[in-house]
């Protein structure tokens, strides 16, 4: 067979019995299958007699394994060790051999062998990319003999800024109309959008529906199948119908593989129950479900392509895994590229500490609480990727913190660095795996941000923005992953060192700002807010340059606020809340954190109202105009929105509350709204697992009805929604000195007059048990209350 040359993008890759199976997107639009024979190796470490015994036993397995003795670098020990290398002929055989070896010599079994495993659970796609010098979605030159890959090379790198993605052909499947979970009983026609156009098909004609989907797949031959609820409903339902109708549905391009379906699961992570939905994986074609893709709304398909290239994970895998998995993949790739051993499991326990040492070390990030109120001409400064930058600057990694090498101790390279406040020594003679991984990532993100700023508003700038946002989430995750209990390259001392360096850096910035005459208002971890009357842009730039020069960490001006509001705590009016603030920059753009419009659990009616109110307040040039707009326009808008609620003019969709289940429906012991809604859905045959979200609407009598079961005859509990609305309004008014009593007074048009004897926070207004079905008024009438009080006074 004659060898041919081909230029193509690597669309997909996965392990097979022949080696690594690749699907290539050629320049002319064709999708081609190719196979590259690819052996994989894992290692056993231990004492000489144990390794010799393992060699003899493995040699008798007759599974095509090749055995050899090697020495490789073990990063936690800081030296090379003796190993038994076990090479399998292909990735499938590699996984089978690892499983059998783990059964035979389980780690920590205490059987006297003391064997340790390395490189035993590697992702074949990542290993292939490192070995061949390529990566997913790379533009490559292939030499092929039929389907067999004879050679592959690329001029691109994972760090290129201008690499174009493949010319994807995309087919979209979703239910027409409102985006709702069909597993809760919602049905609408199936909408199929392809390059040839869009069609809608009813589910009551299953044969026609399946046949149309089949014909569309064959005609378009899409590279990407983009769905909404495709993992949990659409694709499983289409596969079920195709089986019933005996019509082959070519979801896979690779006809030799069946569609892979992974089961759902619920697990506990960082103090909450998380639900991972079932998933449908395709071979040769990429399935992306926008409902299960991690942060897809933040960075879209452009961001997913960036993550696939940077982390070496195939696009379909990137779409279903977290940023922590991406960082772990990059660390594994960096260690593998350098020939370092990759531990099978984390074996670095936390060092022993006294109680005082623990208190000193485990403090976390530094926060200065702001004084609640409304401020003018405030400068916000943000350290650019502070924690990742500090990890690179101080060489913070599991194998370097508290592990100075003999050369360091002898004074070479200036000796070990010492972490401020906690005193951990850090080796400076060898660069840690974490800084090695993060340094090019930081450089690339900064370059993307600069390239985006140089472009005018438009599609090209938006693509760059999405790419850098995707990388931002990798950098955000890397700090938490450094202290994650199962991170193979993590260690809590490195995590503590990062926060200690962060505290020291923030304190330096505070002292520099105060020395330049700025008043310090607030700081949290990697950002600070300061103001100085009459300061200019030149003053701000000089401040930034001095902080960056002194700390060695890049710091940027986030912006100058016309006004900035720090709302107080609702429980204690004099106490601040560190992560709640909002303000208007000099260009009129609003920034908000922690308030209702930023919270994922805020209902749309309240979120939209608050955003509209903030757009009004953004016109204010100072605090006085802010207060005037509150009085003149915001309260008027509030009256309109509350009147719409009273009249029943707010659609139930806008009132639906989203709540995550912490238990199965039958295990709730109280009649919480989420429990009532979950039980009703369960009674309707809907399967619900802990960690899943339920949407419900509050109904009269203290009840709750699932949004998916809403009926026109159901009555909204306007009193409870009024309370949520007023809590939202408090966030905007309390920094200006208006509490709940004054809010209600203005909604009634009473003005600012004091009402003698009125109970604090108007408990008399709070809704009690509802006995009637008539809509309750917008607010209790203060005029009627005053009249009753006057009658009582006269006797």
Question: pLDDT, tens digit, for every residue of 102-148?
Answer: 999 988 655 555 899 999 999 999 999 999 999 999 999 999 999 99
Note whether 422 and 402 are within 8 A (CB): no
More confident call, 350 vs 82? 82
Tokens linked to 165: 């993605």
Do 69 and 186 lie in one domain? The reply is no
What is the pLDDT averaged over residues 249-264?
A: 93
Q: Which residue has the higher pLDDT, 703 or 785?
A: 703
User: pLDDT tier at 185 (50, 70, 90 boundaries)?
Assistant: confident
Q: How confident is the model at residue 2 (pLDDT cuts 50, 70, 90)?
A: confident
Q: Which helix (H) or strand (E) holds 530?
A: strand 527-531
Number of domains present in the structure of the chain: 4
Mean pLDDT score across all residues of the chain: 89
Instruction: Give the separation between CA 311 and CA 477, rounded to whole angstroms.
Output: 13
| Judgement on whether residues 54 and 193 belong to the same structural domain of the protein | no
656 part of a folded domain: yes
CA distances from 542 to 49, 381, 639 (A): 66, 12, 47
* Residue 541 domain flag: no
- Better-scored residue on pLDDT, 107 or 159: 159
The Cα diameter of the chain in Å comes to: 111
pTM of the model: 0.87
Supply the range of the domain harboring residue 20.
Answer: 4-36+137-154
Residue-level pLDDT at 108: 66
The share of the chain scoring above pLDDT 70, in percent, equals: 92
41-45, 62-66, 657-661: which has the highest mean pLDDT? 41-45
Weakest mean pLDDT among 167-171, 266-270, 349-353: 266-270
Is the confidence at residue 775, as pLDDT, over 60?
Answer: no
pLDDT tens-digit map of 644-660: 999 999 999 999 999 99
411 φ/ψ angles, rounded to the nearest 5 degrees: 100, 0
Could you tell me if residue 258 is inside a domain? yes
Give CA separation, 549 vs 442, 506, 507, 527, 543, in Å. 18, 13, 14, 17, 10
Q: Are residues 66 and 197 in the same domain?
A: no
Q: pLDDT-based confidence at 573, cuts 50/70/90?
A: confident
Q: What is the pLDDT of residue 782?
A: 36
Listed in sequence order, the DSSP H helices in 659-734 are: 673-683, 718-733
Report yes or no on 565 lying in a domain.
no
Q: Is residue 294 part of a domain?
A: no
* pLDDT score, position 176: 93
Verify that 101 and 61 share a domain, yes or no. Answer: yes
Is the pLDDT assigned to residue 63 strictly greater than 60?
yes
The pLDDT confidence band at residue 785, using thresholds 50, 70 and 90, is very low
- Let me know whether 8 and 150 are in one domain: yes
The Cα–Cα gap between 40 and 153 comes to: 20
pLDDT band of residue 346 (cuts 50, 70, 90) is low
| Per-residue tokens: 219 | 């005609």
705/784 Cα distance (integer angstroms): 34
- Neighbouring CB atoms inside 10 A of 573's CB total 10
Structure tokens at 671: 């009649």
Residue 623: partners with Cβ closer than 8 Å, 6 or more residues away:
374, 375, 376, 563, 736
Higher pLDDT, 782 or 630: 630
| Residue from 625, 559, 637, 569 nearest 592 by CA | 559
pLDDT at 231: 93
Is there a contact between 731 and 609 (Cβ–Cβ < 8 Å)? Answer: no
Regarding whether 63 and 28 lie in a shared domain, the answer is no
Instruction: Mean pLDDT check: name the lowest of 222-231, 361-370, 606-615, 722-731.
Output: 361-370
Which of 227-236, 358-367, 629-638 has the weakest average pLDDT? Answer: 358-367
Q: Are residues 65 and 201 in the same domain?
A: no
> Residue 355, Cβ neighbours under 10 Å: how many?
7
**Do 24 and 150 belong to one domain?**
yes
Query: Nearest Cα to 268, choosing from 663, 673, 601?
Result: 663
**d(Cα 685, Cα 147) in Å, to the nearest integer?**
48
pLDDT of 783 reads 39
The pLDDT of residue 278 is 85
**Residue 108 included in any domain:** yes
Flag the least confident range among 70-79, 458-467, 479-488, 601-610. Answer: 479-488
Residue that wins the pLDDT comparison between 697 and 663: 697
Shared-domain flag, residues 641 and 684: yes
Mean pLDDT of all residues in 426-455: 94
Q: Please report whether residue 523 resides in a domain.
A: no
State residue 455 phi and psi, 5-degree precision. Answer: -100, 150
Q: What's the pLDDT tens digit per position in 692-733?
A: 999 999 999 889 999 999 988 899 999 999 999 999 999 999
Based on the fold, state whether residues 19 and 150 are members of the same structural domain.
yes
284, 315, 332 — which closes off a domain? Answer: 284
Residue 143 and residue 21 share a domain:
yes
pLDDT at 772 over 60: no
Pairing of strands 527-531, 519-524: antiparallel
CATH number at residue 698: 1.10.132.60
Tokens for 788?
Answer: 């009753």
Asked if residue 280 is part of any domain, the answer here is yes
Q: Give the end of a domain, one of 98, 130, 162.
A: 130
**Is 756 a residue whose pLDDT tops 50?**
no
pLDDT the model gives residue 270: 65
The domain boundary, picked from 238, 260, 284, lies at 284
pLDDT per position as a tens digit, 228-238: 999 999 999 99
pLDDT band, very low/low/confident/very high, at 183 (cuts 50, 70, 90): confident
Residues 650 and 673 in one domain: yes
Both tokens assigned to 677: 């809604």
Residue 526 has pLDDT above 70, yes or no: yes
């Amino acid at each position: 067979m004659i060898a041919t040359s081909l230029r193509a993008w690597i669309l997909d890759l996965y392990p097979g019995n022949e080696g690594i199976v690749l699907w290539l997107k050629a320049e002319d639009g064709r999708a081609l299958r190719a196979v590259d024979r690819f052996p994989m190796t894992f290692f056993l470490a231990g004492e000489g007699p144990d390794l010799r015994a393992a060699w003899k036993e493995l040699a008798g397995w007759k599974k095509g394994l090749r055995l050899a003795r090697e020495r490789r670098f073990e990063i936690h020990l800081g030296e090379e060790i003796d190993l038994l290398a076990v090479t399998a002929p292909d990735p499938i055989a590699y996984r089978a051999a690892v499983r059998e070896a783990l059964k035979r010599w389980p780690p920590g079994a205490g059987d006297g062998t003391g064997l340790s495993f390395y490189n035993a659970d590697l992702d074949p796609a990542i290993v292939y990319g490192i070995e061949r010098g390529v990566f997913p979605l790379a533009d490559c030159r292939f030499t092929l003999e039929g389907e067999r890959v004879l050679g592959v090379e690329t001029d691109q790198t994972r760090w290129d800024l201008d690499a174009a993605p493949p010319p994807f052909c995309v087919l979209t499947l979703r239910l027409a109309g409102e985006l709702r979970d069909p597993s809760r009983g919602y049905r609408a026609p199936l909408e199929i959008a392809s390059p040839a156009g869009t069609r809608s098909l009813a589910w009551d004609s299953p044969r026609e529906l399946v046949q149309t989907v089949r014909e569309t797949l064959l005609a378009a031959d899409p590279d990407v199948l983009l769905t909404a609820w495709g993992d949990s409903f659409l694709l499983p339902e289409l596969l079920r119908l195709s089986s019933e109708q005996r019509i082959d549905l070519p979801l896979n391009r690779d006809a030799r593989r069946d569609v892979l379906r992974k089961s759902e699961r619920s697990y506990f992570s960082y103090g909450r129950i998380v639900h991972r939905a079932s998933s449908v994986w395709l071979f040769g074609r990429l399935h992306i479900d926008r409902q299960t893709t991690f942060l897809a709304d933040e960075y879209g398909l452009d961001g997913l392509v960036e993550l696939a290239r940077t982390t070496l994970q195939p696009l379909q895998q990137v779409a279903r895994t977290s940023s922590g998995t991406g960082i772990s993949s990059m660390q594994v790739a960096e260690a593998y590229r350098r020939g370092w051993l990759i531990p099978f499991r984390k074996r670095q326990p936390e060092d022993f500490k006294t109680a005082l040492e623990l208190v000193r070390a485990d403090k976390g990030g530094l926060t200065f609480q702001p004084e609640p109120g409304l401020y003018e001409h405030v400068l916000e400064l943000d350290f650019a990727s502070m924690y990742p930058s500090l990890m690179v600057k101080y060489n913070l990694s599991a194998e370097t913190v508290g592990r100075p090498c003999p050369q360091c101790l002898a004074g070479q390279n200036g000796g070990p660095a010492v972490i401020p406040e906690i005193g951990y020594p850090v080796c400076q003679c060898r660069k840690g795996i974490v800084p090695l991984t993060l340094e090019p990532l930081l450089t690339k993100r900064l370059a993307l941000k600069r390239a985006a700023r140089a472009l005018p508003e438009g599609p090209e700038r938006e693509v760059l923005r999405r790419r850098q946002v995707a990388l931002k989430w990798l950098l955000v995750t890397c700090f938490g992953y450094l202290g994650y209990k199962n991170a193979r390259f993590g260690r809590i001392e490195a995590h503590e060192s990062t926060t200690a360096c962060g505290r020291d850096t923030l304190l330096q910035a505070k002292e520099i700002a105060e020395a330049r005459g700025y008043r310090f208002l607030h700081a949290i971890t990697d950002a600070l807010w300061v103001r100085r009357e009459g300061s200019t842009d030149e003053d701000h730039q000089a401040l930034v340059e001095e902080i960056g020069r002194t700390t060695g960490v890049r710091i940027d001006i986030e912006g100058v606020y016309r006004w900035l509001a720090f709302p107080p705590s609702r429980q204690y009016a004099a106490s601040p809340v560190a992560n709640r603030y909002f303000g208007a920059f000099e260009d009129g753009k609003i920034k908000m954190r922690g308030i209702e419009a930023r919270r994922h659990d805020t209902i749309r009616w309240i979120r939209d109202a608050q955003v509209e109110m903030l757009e009004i307040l953004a016109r204010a040039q100072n605090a006085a105009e802010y207060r005037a707009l509150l009085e003149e326009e915001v309260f008027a808008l509030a009256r309109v929105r509350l009147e719409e609620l009273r009249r029943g003019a707010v659609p139930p969709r806008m009132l639906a509350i989203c709540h995550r289940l912490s238990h199965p429906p039958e295990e709730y012991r109280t009649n919480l709204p989420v429990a009532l809604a979950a039980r009703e859905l369960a009674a309707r045959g809907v399967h619900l697992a802990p960690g899943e979200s339920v949407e419900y609407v509050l109904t009269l009598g203290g009840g709750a009805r699932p949004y998916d079961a809403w009926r026109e005859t159901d009555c909204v509990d306007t009193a409870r929604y009024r309370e949520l609305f007023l809590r939202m309004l408090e966030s905007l008014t309390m920094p200006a000195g208006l509490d709940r009593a004054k809010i209600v007074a203005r909604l009634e048009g009473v003005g600012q007059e004091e009402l003698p004897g009125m109970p604090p926070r108007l408990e008399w207004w709070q809704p009690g048990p509802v006995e009637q079905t008539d809509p309750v008024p917008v607010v209790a009438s203060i005029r009627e209350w005053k009249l009753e009080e006057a009658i009582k006074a006269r006797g």
